[in-house]
Amino acid sequence: MWCDLPHDPEDPKTWIQAVVRLHGYGHEPFRKAVNTPGCSRRTTSARAGR
């Protein structure tokens, strides 16, 4: 996926976005990862500052 990101994997200073949406990664392994139980809860908690 790094080749599809506008960031340098060796330089964390280029990782300026908290979330990057990549088109073409909607197939099964990625859908399963996103829909893992608790995944959205962690995201929601992080946004709420918990």
pTM of the model: 0.43
pLDDT at 13: 94
Give CA–CA dist 46/1, Å, rounded: 24
Residue-wise pLDDT tens digits, 18-36: 888 888 888 888 888 877 7
pLDDT at 6: 86
Residue-wise pLDDT tens digits, 6-17: 899 999 999 998
pLDDT at 42: 47
Q: In Å, how far are 13, 25, 29, 30 from 34, measured between CA atoms? A: 26, 11, 9, 6
